[in-house]
Amino acid sequence: MAELADAAHAAAEHGAETTAQEYITHHLSYLTFGQHPDGHWGFAHTMEEATEMGFMAFHVDTLFWSLFLGGGALLFFRWIGKKATSDVPNGVQNFVESIFEFVDERVSEGFNHKNPVIAPLALTVFVWILLMNLMDLVPVDWLPEVAIFIGHFFGQEHMSFKVVPTTDPNITLGMSFSIFALIIYYSIKNKGAWGFFSELAFHPFGKWMMPFNLMIEIPTLLAKPISLGLRLFGNLYAGELLFLVISALLGLYQLPFHFVWAAFHILVVPLQAFVFMMLTIVYLNAAHDGVHH
């Protein structure tokens, strides 16, 4: 269960040094690397410095955890694949096979065409997002406190370090716009450039109402990646924020509230990975459908 006794103790210690607002702000800040206004590159020491770095700054913490978890999943599945046997499988192999079967069934139900890319993509999306979401069950102060300790050796005493990649919209929107690029690619590949354009321009009111059709269809198309990414971000960010508020405001009295919220949040973690995967399958299935006349 996330953020229980250890979080309570750490929050109490923080409360003696910082206000609740400062505590929450620190834990919601990113370890940002970018170009400072004077031209040199380095880490931001405050939120103001991170803002001044602009669009090309990197969130090192969320990039690290997303790549670490994704790479770890690939190595784990590769290891299981090499050890897989057709005899009576062990518990770990059974667990991995159950994940494969679960995703394969969802693809069979939601995708009505033949494309060898869709099932591996759905599996990757589901497992990767699930692992990133599970980082929200790590007590809120464990890894940030380690980062602060390490930061002392580099002159960064208040180092920020976010450990839940899906609470960063750069990660969630990056994934959703990657799916969007596949939607556009397969739409044009399967329907042709004219077929793809005609679906936007001639529906739902016919070709004589093309300007109005475009005003409806283009925002609808663009809403797919935005809603896909923001839904995942919003749910995980809200969950993390509530954990932090409970830790910051209630101190040692937070435990009952943490149990209640953690029990609910355990459902949110896999559910959001499942929703992202299912919408990916549905959107790509629509991209493979023929042109509707």
CA distances 222 to 42, 156, 216, 226, Å, are: 35, 40, 11, 7
pLDDT for the residue numbered 11 = 41
List the chain domain ranges.
62-138+164-288
Distance, CA of 171 to CA of 64 (rounded, Å)? 11
pLDDT for the residue numbered 6 = 43
Contact 10, 4 (CB under 8 A): no
Closest of 146, 156, 101 to residue 10, by C-alpha: 146
* Residues in the chain with pLDDT values less than 70: 1-18, 155-158, 251-255, 291-293
Q: Which of 29, 160, 213, 235 is catalytic?
A: 235
DSSP 115: -
pLDDT for the residue numbered 244 = 85
Per-residue b or e along 142-170, where b marks 16 or more CB atoms closer than 10 Å to that residue's CB: ebbbebbeebeeeebeebbbbbbbbbbbb
The SS3 assignment for 34 reads strand
Tokens of 286: 């629509």
pLDDT for the residue numbered 153 = 73
Q: Which of 115, 170, 231, 285 is catalytic?
A: 231
Q: Is 235 a catalytic site residue?
A: yes
**Summary mean pLDDT of the chain:** 85
Model confidence pTM above 0.75: yes
pLDDT digits (tens, 9 = 90+) for 218-263: 999 999 999 999 999 999 999 888 888 887 777 666 667 777 777 7
Q: Is 29 a catalytic site residue?
A: no
Tokens of 22: 């400062």
Show Cβ contacts of residue 5 under 8 Å, excluding neighbours closer than 6 positions.
255
CA distances 254 to 8, 137, 235, 257, Å, are: 7, 16, 21, 5
Tokens of 171: 């990660």
